[in-house]
Amino acid sequence: MSEAASGRFVAACVQMRGGRDPAANRDTAVRAVREAAEAGAAYVQTPETTSLIERDRAALFDKVGSQEQDATLAALREVAREKTIVLQIGSLAIREGDKIANRAFLIDADGQIHAAYDKLHLYDVDLPNGESWRESATYTGGDCAIVAATPLAAIGLTICYDLRFPALYRALAEAGAQVLTAPACFTRQTGEAHWHVLQRARAIETGAFMISAAQGGRHEDGRETFGHSLIIDPWGRILAEADGDAPGIILAEIDLARVTEARARIPTLSHARSFTVRRA
């Protein structure tokens, strides 16, 4: 019986420590995706900003181009075709006029782009340790959520900061997503505080698997990211977790019967009621 027919498959997350050289990041991602496929993964996910971690706006614009010109996208499409896997590129920086799209790609086993998703929520925050981020100054936000029907599972696409908006994940689950994803470049400070609890909460609230590959460690542009890539089942149990912020690969078996079981035990998706809010 095929993996698609059985409702079971092996998923992998590639954890990276990306830098300022797109070619080096591309080669690292290609090697890691190939290694995950050779270890038995039918679905592989890379982290947010797979091809480039660059905080300087001018340098970022100098290093990115259109979707058609993106060498990392082309190389990873070829790996998906070569290894006949479903590959989710956590995101790439894609030039869109005077701004950049933070765009995820889901690649079919024949190397074709099945779906693309632009990150909805932009990270504009000031953190207690003095870190300040203004993604809206550089990036353009998306306006459409995506559920991709693949031979393995129905997969909901999100990216990083989206994780803090539970209504998005509920909407994806209500639209049929069995697997939810949040590849990320989470800062160390916020990751230490919230990464695990948010990932587990999104899985529990929706009765879906959460699969989230992450960037980890100190990067060339000076930022520090949390790592701890995760694969979580619909009951909120961690099936696999990366070793801190170290680059590497994690794998876990996905059994879609667990989605049906979790949603039958706690049927929150069907129990939701509409309501109004009144000030008293």
The residue from 54, 135, 160, 185 that is catalytic is 160
Domain annotation covers residue 147: yes
Check which CATH number belongs to the domain holding 175 and give it.
Answer: 3.60.110.10
276 belongs to a structural domain? no
Of 136-140, 207-211, 224-228, 275-279, which range is least confident?
136-140
Task: Write the pLDDT tens digit of every residue in 259-279.
Answer: 999 999 999 999 999 999 999
Distance of alpha carbon 106 from alpha carbon 95, whole angstroms: 18
Q: Are 54 and 223 in contact (CB under 8 A)?
A: no
Tokens of residue 19, six digits: 């830098």
Tell whether the model's pLDDT for residue 216 goes beyond 80: yes
pLDDT for the residue 255: 98
The answer as to whether 146 is a domain residue is yes
Structure letter (DSSP) for residue 46:
P
Whether residue 270 lies inside any domain: the answer is: no
List pLDDT tens digits, range 38-84.
999 999 999 999 999 998 889 999 999 999 999 999 999 999 999 99
Query: Residue 18, SS3?
Result: coil
Number of domains in the chain: 1
193 within some domain: yes
More confident residue, 233 or 222: 233
**pLDDT tens digits, 147-194:** 999 999 999 999 999 999 999 999 999 999 999 999 999 999 999 999
- How many angstroms separate the Cα of 126 from the Cα of each of 95, 164, 186? 26, 16, 14
Within a domain: residue 188? Answer: yes
Mark whether 78 is an active-site residue: no
Catalytic residue, chosen from 48, 54, 135, 241, is 48
What mean pLDDT is predicted for residues 184-211? 97
> Residue 122's pLDDT band (boundaries 50, 70, 90)?
confident
CA-based end-to-end distance of the chain: 59
User: Do residues 219 and 53 touch, judged by C-beta distance below 8 A?
Assistant: yes
Asked whether residue 277 is assigned to any structural domain, the reply reads no
Q: Is the pTM of this model over 0.85?
A: yes
Instruction: Note the pLDDT tens digit of each residue in 225-237.
Output: 999 999 999 999 9
Does some domain include residue 101?
Answer: yes
Has 83 been annotated as catalytic?
no
pLDDT band for position 138 (50/70/90)? confident
Of 83, 119, 135, 185, which residue is the catalytic one?
A: 119
